[in-house]
Structure 1
Amino acid sequence: MIRKLTETEARYAMAHGEFAEEIRGSAPSVAIILTQSWCPQWRFMKAYLPEVDAKLNAEGSGEAVHIYYLEYDLEDWYEEFLPFKENTFQNWDVPYVRYYQKGRLTGESNFIADRGFISHLQKTILEV
């Protein structure tokens, strides 16, 4: 599953310093991508996400991976979200990716090619 984060979900993170458990724990493995629409590296990542989703959520495996994204420069509340992302997560680059296993943060990255992205999502919580 690939889905855009809603304003409500983003505002929850701004208020609590982290995304809600309903997002982080929505699948055994979750990625949250925070980015800006103009970023060429994001465009590259966005192009491979459907293939990664199909591979990791292949028929019969259930919904093992959920991928959420937010192109926050397109939102009316951009000026609120940008300092939250930079100051709370201490990350000033885009795209910025947070990886969760069973609801627990297990890694972070910026731009990453598809193999590295898959590798992060396939880690088990015991390996971290």
Structure 2
Amino acid sequence: MANTTESSGELVKAELEIVDDNCTLRADFIQELLPSAERTALLYHLAFLSLGGFPKLERLIRDQAIETQLLFRSSEALLMKCVGTSSNLVTSLFPILQQAVEKNKPVLAKSYLMKAKEWIKDIVAQVEVIVKR
């Protein structure tokens, strides 16, 4: 943790700087997923070229390619939601939570923690839906 002699405003400022660095890392992570999507599209294209002469296989390949594209888009949207949620937790919720604890307001702190729990549960539920697809 940061130096304890710093005021809480300075601690929050330091945390915000860390979040900016992490957002860059997260954006890089998402960019690293693009080659996987491109490789998958290439594999579908090769399968179509090889097996596209068979009408039933052609339709199956097209249907699966469309479903895969939808899954990649859903995954990308979910990753962006994760980035936004984690940024909100660090930049907004944690400083407020810290102040609630420092001012000895456990009910307020608990309500903020429950809000974070709701956000995380929502993301986990969406991940489970994508995994099932």
* The two structures share one fold, judged by TM-score above 0.5: no
Q: So what's the TM-score if we normalise by structure 2?
A: 0.24
Larger RCO, structure (CA 8 Å, separation 6 or more)? 1
Scaled by the length of structure 1, what TM-score is found?
A: 0.24
The structure in which a higher percent of residues are strand is 1
